[in-house]
Amino acid sequence: MGQAVAAYLHFLSIFVLFALLTLEHRLFKLPLDLERARSLVRIDMAYGLSAGAVLVTGLARVFWYGKGVDYYLHNSVFHAKMGLFVLIAALSSYPTFVFLNWRNDLKAGVVPMLGTRKAKLVIMTIRLELLLVLIMPLLAALMARGFGVIGS
């Protein structure tokens, strides 16, 4: 039962992460208004929390409910998947820092000013994150079917 619950929570957190990132992509456009800017900050925080849930539930599956730690440590696809997760996390820091810099303006009830160049960089970063997140299930499916096992 624990294995099924861990898998369910892992998949659910992945779906929530993807939904929040898609919503962030949909809401981020110029010109900003106060309500959308506040929503983007909240959505980005929730996105970060969902990424944490993906990581925690994934680690639970690795250590307690999956094929065993040894299987994952000796699987190149698992390493690629974890590298991709780290890359996505690193990419997501740029929009997060942009949104965090809006805090003072939002507290003052002022719409944050955002240049066209910075806005394009944020939206392209979010799009790249979405693309990379779509690759994760492929790597998971390959790994689950034994691809990438080192030494076999």
Residues 6+ apart with CB under 8 A from 107: none
Helical spans, DSSP H, in 1-152: 2-27, 34-60, 69-73, 76-100, 103-107, 116-144
So what's the pLDDT on residue 4?
A: 92
**Mean pLDDT value of segment 118-143:** 96
CB 82 within 8 A of CB 66: no
CA distances to 72, 144, 148 from 93, in Å: 27, 29, 29
Query: If you average pLDDT over each of 3-7, 11-15, 61-65, 66-70, which comes out highest?
Result: 11-15
Block residue for tokens 């992509």: 25
Rounded CA gap, 91 and 87, in Å?
6
pLDDT tens track for 24-81:
999 999 999 999 999 999 999 999 999 999 999 999 998 998 788 888 899 999 999 9
- Answer whether 121's CB lies under 8 Å from 91's CB: no
pLDDT for position 146 = 87
* pLDDT for 105: 96
Residues 92, 24 contacting (CB under 8 angstroms): no
pLDDT digits (tens, 9 = 90+) for 80-125: 999 999 999 999 999 999 999 999 999 999 999 999 999 999 999 9
What pLDDT sits at residue 66?
76
Cα 136–chain centre separation: 10
> Are the C-beta atoms of 35 and 42 separated by less than 8 Å?
no
- Look up residue 31 and give its DSSP letter: S
Handedness of CA 96, 102, 106, 109 (dihedral sign): negative
